[in-house]
Amino acid sequence: MPECHATATVNPCSMCMPMGAVFVFRGIEGCMPLFHGSQGCSTYMRLYLAHHFREPVDIASSALSEKGAVYGGAANLKQGLKNVIAGYGPLAVGIATTCLAETIGDDVPQIVREFRQEPQASCVTIFSVSTPSYKASHEAGYSAALSAVVRSLAERSKPNGKINLLLGSIVSPADVRYIKRLLCDWGIGHILLPDTSESFDAPLTKDFPRIPSGGTPLEAIRDAGNSVATISIGAWANGQGAGDYLQEEFDVPHNALPLPLGLEATDRFVGRLETLTCQPLPEEYEKERGRLLDTMVDAHKLMAGVRTCVYGDTEMVLGLSSLMKELGMSPQVLATGSSSPNFDRLASELAPGAKVMSGADFSQIQEEVEALDVELLVGPFTGRQTARAIELPLLRVGFPNHDRFGAARQLVLGYEGAGRLVDAMANALIDDRERRPS
């Protein structure tokens, strides 16, 4: 049964809204994120993201102080925009609000309209999104920022024959590279947004750029209203406002799909592309599918009936749980820190009888894990205290991951990613059984 929301948060299973906005802004070519709020918010996000990706992450701040809190932050935001434009030379600036700016009631769109009269504004695209942390999680911030970007830029011109692919959930740069490679190998013209394949996992270079290379070009986003279709992946539970907007405003048909994580979900994604293009999946990826099936058969004896707890972002939890069911595993706890009625319904359908928890806290998750005799935890590193307390193996999957290397290169999507996950779960169980006294 779905778990009711906690009245107090002790150890949340999610992060704040502006964090999600940064993922979108960093996935746009030449875009610099700017937080309108206190400087500590920007510092915290930079540190958190740098630990996860092992990459420097610059986030500007309007640095609101006590004066701005009393008299409004318009002057700070305008000065912040001037400094960013002068110091970084961005093609775009993405503004996300923090709790302080939202609490004092700054009208950011109006401030941006006023700033557009400044000479510096002529060379840069500016978009903004409301992301108060007390309202929702980083997942909601991601979705809101993606929608704000598309709403700000998409425009009608001539048909382009392309397919929009919106990443409706936070995934790794390796996952983005895999999806891009699949589309290119298939010969599918596409607009993918956001593209963090390089901006969060850049190669080492002699001269470090002020803004990382890569990202979806602004012109491509403007052209998204002229595509033949939109597919949102990772938009199963929460929907995708950007895709809905393109359908309503530009008549671009929109399909919201789960993350292509596991066999059935990847088949759904591939099947939709085959329908849209009238072209079969390339042979190499058919072989990948066959290798995944072989891997699942090999691991079934070890993994069948294993009782698991899956936690983290809603779409990742649903995808992982679906893969576990395909392997014959038994998910007992499905938990997310986000609040999503659709997650409750979909998770209950995936794992009938399991404990489903949205808006969850790790103190609640630990109680359920102990009560339900769970054997394996799968989710971000934030569950490590629970794993240590009850001596369970933890496979780190998803965002954030601070205490292991390779988060930017963790592939979980597609047939190849599912095969890697099967191997990783099997090895986590073997390692745990070997370390326990016989």
Convert the pLDDT of each residue in 195-238 to its tens digit. Answer: 999 999 998 888 888 899 999 999 999 999 999 999 999 988 88
Q: Sorting pLDDT into bands at 50, 70 and 90, what band is 438?
A: low
Q: Is the pLDDT of residue 23 over 60?
A: yes
As a whole number, the mean pLDDT across the chain is 93
Reported as a single tens digit per residue, the pLDDT across 406-427 is 999 999 999 999 999 999 999 9
pLDDT at 240: 77
**Mean pLDDT in residue range 60-88:** 89
**Mean pLDDT in residue range 366-380:** 96
Q: Look at the domain 17-136 and name its fold.
A: Rossmann fold (3.40.50)
E-state strands within 48-189: 60-61, 92-97, 125-129, 163-167
Q: Sorting pLDDT into bands at 50, 70 and 90, what band is 86?
A: very high
Q: Sorting pLDDT into bands at 50, 70 and 90, what band is 101?
A: confident
- Domains of the chain: which residue ranges? 17-136, 163-279, 284-435
pLDDT at 44: 87
Task: Looking at 330-413, list the stretches that DSSP marks H as alpha helix, in order from N- to C-terminal side.
Answer: 341-350, 362-371, 384-390
pLDDT at 190: 98
Q: Is the pLDDT of residue 7 over 60?
A: no
Q: Is the pLDDT of residue 35 over 70?
A: yes
User: Phi/psi class of residue 215: alpha, beta or left (left: φ > 0; alpha: ψ in -120 to 50)?
Assistant: left
**Mean pLDDT in residue range 256-265:** 97
pLDDT at 122: 87
Q: Is the pLDDT of residue 268 over 50?
A: yes
Give 16's DSSP letter: B
Q: Is the pLDDT of residue 119 over 70?
A: yes
- Which range in 73-77, 132-136, 411-415 is most confidently predicted, on average pLDDT? 411-415
Reported as a single tens digit per residue, the pLDDT across 280-317 is 999 999 999 999 999 999 999 999 999 999 999 999 99
Reported as a single tens digit per residue, the pLDDT across 149-158 is 999 999 999 9
The three-state secondary structure class of 104 is helix
Q: Sorting pLDDT into bands at 50, 70 and 90, what band is 6?
A: very low
386, 264, 397, 357: which is closest to 2 by C-alpha? Answer: 357
The token pair at 45 is 């996000």
Instruction: Kindly state the percentage of the chain with pLDDT values over 70.
Output: 98
Q: Sorting pLDDT into bands at 50, 70 and 90, what band is 1?
A: very low
Q: Look at the domain 163-279 and name its fold.
A: Rossmann fold (3.40.50)
Q: Is the pLDDT of residue 4 over 80?
A: no
Q: Look at the domain 284-435 and name its fold.
A: Rossmann fold (3.40.50)
The token pair at 208 is 């470090």
Q: If 0-12 CB within 10 Å is exposed, 13-18 middle and 19+ buried, where does residue 367 land?
A: middle
Greater confidence (6 vs 253) lies with 253
261, 240, 91: which is closest to 164 by C-alpha? Answer: 240
Q: What are phi and psi of 331, to 5 degrees?
A: -60, 125
50, 214, 228, 24: which is closest to 129 by C-alpha? Answer: 24
Q: Do domains 163-279 and 284-435 have the same CATH topology?
A: yes
